C-alpha cells in the first residue's frame, strides 16, 4: 500500500489512527502490529512469510547471541548472512546472473521474482537490532511482539527512515500520545503528502518525458531541465515519504530521526551526506564505517573505508551499474574533499559560492547517472548537458516538456529546498493569526493533494488502441 493512495489516506489511515487514539495504552502496540502486517500484506501477502522469517531469525539470533557470548561473533555473522541472503536473492540475484553471463559467456536463466516491498529497509533495521544487541548497546528484546513491531512498523516500512533499534527501543516499551504530537504529526503528514503529490509528481512527469527520449532528440537546455527536475523530484519524493513517516510516527507517539535537512544547500558532498538520507548514512557510519576503522586509521585506509561505504551505498540503492557508479561518484568527491580540505568552512563569500556551485554540479550530475536506464545513456546525457553532442534531431518544442504548473513546481521546489519556512510548524500559540493561516494553508494543501491522488483513479477504458 502506498501512502499516496486513496485507500491509505482515506480508509487505512483514519481507521488505524482513530482506533489507536481511542484504545487503551496496553493495546496500542498490538493494534499497530496488526495494522503493520495488514499494510505489508495488502499488495502481496505471499511475501509476508519472508518478513516473518526475518523476524524469527533475528529474534532467536539475538537470544542465542546474548546467551552464548563466547560464540557471539559466529552467531552474529550467521544471522546477518541469512538476512542478507534474502536481500541478495530478491534484489541482486538477476543482476549477478546478468553480469556473470556477460563476463563468463554463460547462459544462466534469470529467476522470475518480484522484490518484496521495503526489504532493503526492514533488513537493515533487523541487522541494526542484532548488532546493537551484539555490542550490548541494548538488551535483547524477549517480547517477540515488540521486536515484530520494530521491524514491521508501517510508517517507515516502505521508504524509511531506517530506524536504528537503540533509537527506538525505549519508545516501543513506553511512549506517550499527546495532543501536540498528534497535531504536529498530522501537519508533517500533510506537508509530506504535498511534497510528494504537488511537487515531486509534477516534476517527475517532466523528467520522465525527457529521460524517455533518445539523447539527440533534446538540446542541452532541456537536458539541464530534466536533470534539475529529477533532482527536485527525488528530493521531494523521498523527503515527502520521510515526512509522512515521521508525521505518522508522531501520531502514534514515536519520534523518528529526521531523514533530510535541506541537503541542496550543502557546500560540499561531505555536508550533503550529513543532510541527505541521514538515517542511511548514519546506519552505514555506525555499522560499517566505524567497524572498518572509521577515520582513526591511516589516511589510505580511511580512503579505502570511504570507498567501501559508498560502494555499499550505491549497491543498496539498486541492482544496476548506474547505482554503483553513482555511489562511487559520491565516494570519489568525499575522498577528494577529505584529501584537499575543500569541504571545510570558508570565510570568503566567493569561495562559499564556489563551494555551493561545485556541490550542486556534483550531485546533479550524480542524479543523472542515478536516473539513467544504463551507463551508456548516462554518458550520452551528460555529454548533451555540456554541449558535446554534435548533431541534434530536436523532437518537441519546449512547451511540450514544461508548462505553467511545472514552472510553479520548480520555483516552489527551489524555494522550499532552502530553510526559509523551517519554523513554520513551530509558530507559538500567541501568534494566533499566523498559526491559523498556516493551518488553513495546510488544509488547502491537503485538499489539493487529495485531488491529485483522486485524479489518478480516473481511468477511462480504451481498447481501441488505434
Partner 1 sequence: MQIKRKKRLIISLLLTLVIMLLISPLYSGANMDNFFRAFNSKEVRLNIFFGGDKDNQLQVVDLSKRVKSEQPDWYNNPSWMKTPGRGTMVQAKIYRQFRKYELQYKAIGNGTVSIHLLGPHNKWDNGKIYPVWVYYKNFKVNGKEIFFDTKKLSYEKGYKYDISLKHGDSLKIEFEAKRYIPLNLISGIEPLLFISCFAISFLLSRLLVYWLSQFKIKEHHSRIDIVFLSVFFALLLIPMSHINQDEKSVQENRMLAKYVPLIDNQGHINLKYGKNFEAWFNDRFNARDLLTSLHTYILFNINTYYETSKAYIGKEGFVYTVGMNMIELDNRPEYIQKYIIQLNWLYTFCSKNNIKPYILIAPVKDNVYSEFSPRKKHFYNNTTLFLQKLSKQVDIPIIYPLSESMAAKQKDYVFFKTDHHWTEWGAYIAYQALMKEIQKTFPAIQAIPESDFNVFYSNKVRAEHGRGFGLGTAKRNLNFPDKYINLDANYKYYEHKEEKLLTVLKDDRLETKEYTYPHGANLTAVVVGTSFIENFMQFFPYNFKKSFKYRANTYKESNLNISRWEKNIKENNTDILIIVLQESAIPMLLSLNKGLDDK
How many residues touch partner 1 (CB under 8 A)?
58
Rank residues 108 and 405 by Cβ distance to partner 1 and give the closer one: 405
- Of positions 285, 338, 356, 435, contacts partner 1 by CB under 8 A: 435
**What are the C-alpha distances in Å from 462 to residues 404, 454, 456?**
29, 20, 16
Would you count residue 423 as binding partner 1 (CB under 8 A)?
Answer: no
* Torsion sign, CA atoms 375, 378, 379, 380: positive
Q: How far apart (Å, rounded) are the C-alpha atoms in residues 123 and 225?
A: 36
Site string for partner 1, 139-178 (x = CB under 8 A): ----------------------------------------
Per CB under 8 A, 395 contacts partner 1: yes
Minimum Å gap between C-beta 433 and partner 1 is 10
Determine, following the binding rule CB under 8 A, whether residue 229 of this chain makes contact with partner 1. no
H runs (alpha helix) in 11-143: 13-22, 25-41, 48-67, 72-87, 93-104, 119-134
Integer-rounded Cα radius of gyration of the chain: 23
Q: Does 441 bind partner 1 (CB under 8 A)?
A: no
Q: Is 462 helix (H, G, I), strand (E, B) or coil?
A: coil
Alpha-carbon distance of 313 to 322, in angstroms, equals 12
User: Binding partner 1 by CB under 8 A: which of 300, 393, 423, 426?
Assistant: 393
Assess 265 for contact with partner 1 (CB under 8 A): no
Q: Check if the beta carbon of residue 382 is closer than 8 Å to that of residue 368.
A: yes
Q: Which of residues 5-34 bind partner 1 (CB under 8 A)?
A: 5-7, 9-11, 13-14, 17-18
Residue tagged 515484530 (cell numbers): 148
Using CA atoms, how far apart are residues 242 and 325, in angstroms rounded to an integer? 25
What are the backbone angles phi and psi of residue 400, rounded to the nearest 5°?
Answer: -65, -35
Residue 317 falls in the annotated catalytic set: yes
Quote the CA–CA distance of 72 and 133 in Å, as a whole number: 10
Which position among 396, 411, 420, 444 is part of the footprint of partner 1 (CB under 8 A)? 396
Q: Which of 317, 330, 356, 392 is catalytic?
A: 317
Q: What whole-number distance in Å separates Cα of residue 8 and Cα of residue 330? A: 35
**Residue number with CB closer to partner 1 (229 or 280):** 229
Closest approach, Cβ 130 to partner 1, in A, equals 30
**Half-sphere exposure of 121 toward its Cβ, with a 13 Å CA cutoff?**
21
Closer Cβ to partner 1, 30 or 400, answer by number:
400
Residue with Cβ nearer partner 1 (350 or 428)? 428
Q: Which residues bind partner 1 (CB under 8 A)?
A: 1, 5-7, 9-11, 13-14, 17-18, 41-43, 45-46, 179-180, 182-183, 186, 190, 393-397, 399-400, 403-405, 408, 429, 432, 435-436, 439, 442-443, 446-448, 450-452, 454-455, 457-466
Q: Which residues are catalytic?
A: 317
Amino acid at each position: 500500500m502506498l501512502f499516496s493512495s486513496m485507500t491509505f489516506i482515506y480508509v487505512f489511515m483514519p481507521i488505524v489512527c482513530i482506533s489507536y487514539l481511542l484504545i487503551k495504552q496496553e493495546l496500542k502496540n498490538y493494534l499497530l502490529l496488526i495494522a503493520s502486517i495488514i499494510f505489508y500484506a495488502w499488495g502481496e501477502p505471499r511475501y509476508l512469510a519472508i518478513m516473518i522469517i526475518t523476524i524469527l531469525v533475528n529474534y532467536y539470533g539475538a537470544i542465542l547471541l546474548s546467551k552464548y557470548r563466547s560464540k557471539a561473533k559466529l552467531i552474529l555473522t550467521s544471522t546477518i548472512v541469512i538476512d542478507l541472503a534474502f536481500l541478495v536473492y530478491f534484489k541482486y540475484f538477476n543482476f549477478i546472473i546478468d553480469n556473470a553471463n556477460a563476463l563468463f559467456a554463460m547462459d544462466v536463466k534469470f529467476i522470475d521474482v518480484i522484490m518484496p516491498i521495503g526489504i532493503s529497509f526492514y533488513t537493515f533495521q533487523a541487522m541494526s537490532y542484532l548488532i546493537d544487541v551484539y555490542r550490548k548497546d541494548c538488551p535483547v528484546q524477549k517480547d517477540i511482539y515488540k521486536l515484530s513491531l520494530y521491524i514491521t512498523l508501517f510508517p517507515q516500512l516502505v521508504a524509511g527512515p531506517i530506524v536504528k533499534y537503540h533509537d527506538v527501543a525505549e519508545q516501543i516499551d513506553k511512549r506517550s500520545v499527546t495532543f501536540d504530537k498528534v497535531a504536529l504529526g498530522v501537519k508533517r503528514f500533510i506537508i509530506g503528502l504535498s511534497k510528494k503529490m504537488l511537487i515531486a509528481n509534477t516534476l517527475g512527469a517532466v523528467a520522465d518525458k525527457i529521460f524517455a527520449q533518445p539523447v539527440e532528440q533534446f538540446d542541452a537546455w532541456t537536458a539541464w531541465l530534466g536533470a534539475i527536475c529529477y533532482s527536485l523530484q527525488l528530493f521531494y519524493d523521498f523527503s515527502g515519504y520521510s515526512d509522512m513517516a515521521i508525521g505518522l510516527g508522531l501520531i502514534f507517539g514515536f519520534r523518528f530521526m529526521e531523514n533530510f535537512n535541506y541537503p541542496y544547500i550543502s557546500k560540499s558532498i561531505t555536508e550533503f551526506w550529513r543532510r541527505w538520507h541521514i538515517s542511511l548514512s548514519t546506519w552505514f557510519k555506525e555499522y560499517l564505517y566505524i567497524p572498518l576503522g572509521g577515520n582513526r586509521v591511516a589516511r589510505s585506509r580511511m580512503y579505502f573505508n570511504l570507498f567501501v561505504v559508498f560502494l555499499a551505498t550505491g549497491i543498496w540503492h539498486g541492482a544496476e551499474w548506474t547505482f554503483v557508479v553513482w555511489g562511487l561518484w559520491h565516494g570519489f568527491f568525499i575522498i577528494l574533499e577529505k584529501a584537499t580540505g575543500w569541504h571545510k568552512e570558508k570565510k570568503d563569500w566567493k569561495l562559499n559560492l564556489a563551494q555551493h556551485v561545485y556541490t550542486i554540479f556534483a550531485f546533479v550530475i550524480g542524479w543523472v547517472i542515478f536516473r539513467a536506464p544504463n551507463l551508456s545513456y548516462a554518458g550520452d546525457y551528460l555529454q548533451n548537458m555540456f554541449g558535446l553532442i554534435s548533431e541534434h534531431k530536436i523532437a518537441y518544442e519546449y512547451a511540450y516538456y514544461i508548462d505553467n504548473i511545472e514552472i510553479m513546481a520548480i520555483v516552489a521546489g527551489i524555494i522550499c529546498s532552502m530553510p526559509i519556512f523551517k519554523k513554520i510548524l513551530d509558530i507559538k500559540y500567541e501568534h494566533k493569526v499566523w498559526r491559523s493561516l498556516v493551518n488553513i494553508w495546510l488544509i488547502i494543501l491537503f485538499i489539493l493533494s487529495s485531488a491529485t491522488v483522486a485524479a489518478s483513479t480516473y481511468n477511462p477504458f480504451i481498447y481501441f488502441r488505434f
